[in-house]
């Protein structure tokens, strides 16, 4: 028999706020109606999580669940960063625990093929949960107040698409001690269940060591007995590789987790760039789209990307960004820079793509006639001197003591005179060739001198290809200069050709006069 079209006013979805309850698809156990969409928002006491399970499940099947489907969200519905899964067919979804006190379930049917639908039950859980994000924070119940007696919590971390091994770091730890940790304890397992290898069992007041799983799953169990408690614990986890990286190479690039797909919610990711002493770090923003600014404060209160000088969050803030912005490059004042991405519980976006290049430490000075450039050899220890040159390869650096040195007159090495801001300046390009094998990697610095003041400056104009914007600007300038040079060249050519043409005309006139005079004389 055909099910009815969903009539207006059918009981479907709603807010479920009791500590436990049941809900099902419309008409269950009969066939659900066509063209139906229902959303259930489950809200339990703050500090608790929601445990969701399915006793019956039968929806129309499709490989990608494109027809009829059920979706489960951590938190408010319809936010891709919170999606725990999309389900259809006859295989029931696994039990879910939310990461906080809100969970949403969305059911949708199309206009063809109806089945019997689903029946689900939920309950409030004091602690624990299923955490599928790439990073997050967990705490014992009531932390930092004393945890309750006779508690047992399970946090199952992992299952994010593309997730790698997980790292767990305890920021605070204080529990009842005891030989063998038989009373209160935290146990860690290298997988989704207690049958996985145990990574450790901890109690007392010593913080457990940093733990790294060998799989994309980690199970954390917290248990307390009938007496004597403590403050409990606070721990952070992150998926190595996508959300927590350290870079030590002179150039590199990275992006937000799952870029260009939407990043997960509830993240704290860190990218640390650590270069040799003397270097500075220049960061280029190739693409960025985060959740926008708060309409109340105008600040980046929801999701944001921050840059800190010096490699820690205690360093000076170089900038904080959100929304969809086209950003100018940022340069650190030291050889270390830390980028931190914070995302909140809802509204995920595409994220960002970033590249960086190390700015080579150098000393550039000038006189009224010469450039002087010095670079510490240890900064470019792996390079031969002929890989560092001004203007042309024939103007390569010399080694003098601990420095590469270039000392040239303005009339050599590709220097040219330009007017900038109504001032005459001498400009050239310093090339540092980091290429290895077939991988071309030539960094370019513009060196500039104002001879009257004997003031010199240097600017990174083109690092590796990520700095497309700078290269493009540089290219435009170069093309304009070439165009101006071409115009001048054409004007000179035109002047020359006019002179030749006039000369030929005069010569022809003279020849005609001579010929006429000759005829008259004859």
Asked whether residue 267 carries a pLDDT value surpassing 90, the answer given is: no
pLDDT for the residue numbered 51: 86
Asked whether residue 490 carries a pLDDT value surpassing 80, the answer given is: no
Mean pLDDT, rounded, for 271-275 = 94
Question: At 507, which helix (H) or strand (E)?
Answer: helix 468-521
* pLDDT-derived band at 265, boundaries 50, 70, 90: confident
CA nearest 481: which of 392, 403, 404, 416? Answer: 416
Asked whether residue 518 carries a pLDDT value surpassing 70, the answer given is: no
Distance (Å, rounded) from C-alpha 355 to C-alpha 285? 7
Distance (Å, rounded) from C-alpha 267 to C-alpha 137? 9
Residues 6+ apart with CB under 8 A from 210: 167, 168, 169
What residue has token string 């996985």?
Answer: 196
Question: What tens digit of pLDDT does each residue of 430-483 get?
Answer: 999 988 888 888 999 999 999 988 999 998 886 544 433 333 333 333 333 333
Question: Which of 48-57, 178-187, 501-510 has the lowest average pLDDT?
Answer: 501-510
What residue has token string 């039968």?
Answer: 58
Question: At 470, which helix (H) or strand (E)?
Answer: helix 468-521
Q: How far is CA 255 from the centre of its chain?
A: 3
Distance (Å, rounded) from C-alpha 461 to C-alpha 5? 64
Distance (Å, rounded) from C-alpha 282 to C-alpha 377? 21
Cβ distance 101 to 1 under 8 Å? no
Mean pLDDT, rounded, for 46-63 = 87
DSSP 8-state assignment for residue 522? -
Overall pTM > 0.75: no
What residue has token string 């790439």?
Answer: 134
pLDDT for the residue numbered 15: 93
Asked whether residue 492 carries a pLDDT value surpassing 50, the answer given is: no
Question: What tens digit of pLDDT does each residue of 183-235 get?
Answer: 999 999 999 899 999 999 999 999 999 898 998 899 999 999 988 889 999 88
Cβ distance 461 to 429 under 8 Å? yes
- Of the ranges 6-10, 12-16, 117-121, 136-140, the best mean pLDDT one: 117-121
- Domains of the chain plus CATH, in order, are 13-125 (2.60.120.290), 130-239 (2.60.120.290), 244-359 (2.60.120.290), 363-462 (no CATH)
Question: What tens digit of pLDDT does each residue of 358-371 get?
Answer: 999 999 999 999 99
pLDDT for the residue numbered 144: 85
pLDDT for the residue numbered 42: 93
């Amino acid at each position: 028999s055909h099910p009815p079209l969903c009539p207006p006013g059918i009981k479907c979805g709603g807010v479920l706020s009791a500590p436990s309850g049941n809900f099902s698809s419309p008409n269950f156990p009969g066939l659900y109606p066509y063209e139906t969409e229902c959303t259930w928002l489950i809200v339990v006491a703050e500090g608790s999580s929601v445990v969701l399970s399915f006793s019956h499940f039968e929806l129309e099947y499709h490989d990608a669940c494109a027809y009829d489907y059920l979706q489960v969200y951590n938190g408010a519905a319809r936010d891709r960063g919170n999606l725990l899964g999309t389900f259809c067919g006859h295989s029931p979804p696994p039990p879910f625990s939310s990461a906080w006190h809100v969970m949403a379930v969305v059911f949708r049917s199309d206009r063809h093929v109806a089945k019997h639908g689903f029946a689900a039950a939920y309950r409030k859980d004091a602690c624990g949960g299923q955490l599928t994000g790439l990073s997050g924070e967990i705490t014992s119940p009531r932390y930092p107040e004393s945890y309750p007696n006779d508690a047992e919590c399970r946090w199952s971390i992992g299952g994010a698409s593309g997730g790698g091994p997980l790292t767990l770091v305890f920021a605070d730890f204080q529990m009842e001690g005891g030989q063998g940790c038989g009373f209160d304890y935290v146990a860690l397992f290298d997988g989704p269940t207690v049958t996985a290898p145990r990574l450790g069992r901890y109690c007392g007041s010593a913080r457990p060591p940093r733990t790294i799983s060998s799989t994309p799953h980690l199970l954390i169990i917290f248990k307390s007995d009938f007496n004597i408690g403590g403050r409990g614990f606070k721990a952070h986890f992150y998926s190595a590789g996508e959300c927590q990286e350290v870079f030590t190479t002179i150039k590199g690039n990275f992006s937000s987790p799952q870029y260009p797909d939407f990043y997960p919610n509830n993240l704290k990711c860190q990218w640390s760039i650590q270069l040799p002493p003397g270097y500075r770090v220049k960061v280029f923003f190739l693409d960025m789209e985060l959740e926008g600014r708060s309409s109340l404060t105008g600040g980046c209160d929801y999701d944001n990307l921050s840059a800190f000088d010096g490699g820690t969050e205690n360093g000076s803030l170089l900038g904080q960004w959100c929304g969809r912005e086209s950003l100018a490059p940022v340069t650190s004042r030291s050889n270390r820079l830390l980028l931190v991405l914070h995302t909140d519980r809802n509204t995920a976006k595409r994220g960002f793509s970033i590249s960086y290049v190390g700015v080579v430490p150098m000393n550039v000075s000038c006189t009224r006639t010469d450039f002087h450039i010095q670079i510490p050899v240890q900064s470019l220890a792996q390079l031969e001197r002929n890989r560092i040159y001004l203007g042309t390869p024939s103007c390569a650096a010399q080694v003098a003591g601990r420095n590469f040195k270039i000392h040239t007159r303005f009339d050599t090495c590709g220097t040219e005179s330009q007017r900038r801001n109504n001032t005459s300046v001498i400009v050239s390009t310093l090339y540092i060739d980091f290429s290895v094998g077939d991988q071309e990697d030539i960094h370019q610095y513009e060196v500039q001198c104002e001879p009257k003041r004997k003031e010199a400056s240097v600017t990174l104009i083109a690092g590796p290809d990520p700095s497309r914007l700078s290269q493009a600007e540089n290219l435009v300038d170069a093309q304009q200069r070439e165009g101006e040079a071409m115009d001048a060249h054409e004007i000179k050519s035109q002047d020359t050709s006019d002179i030749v043409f006039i000369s030929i005309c005069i010569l022809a006139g003279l020849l005609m006069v001579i010929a006429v005079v000759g005829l008259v004389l004859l």
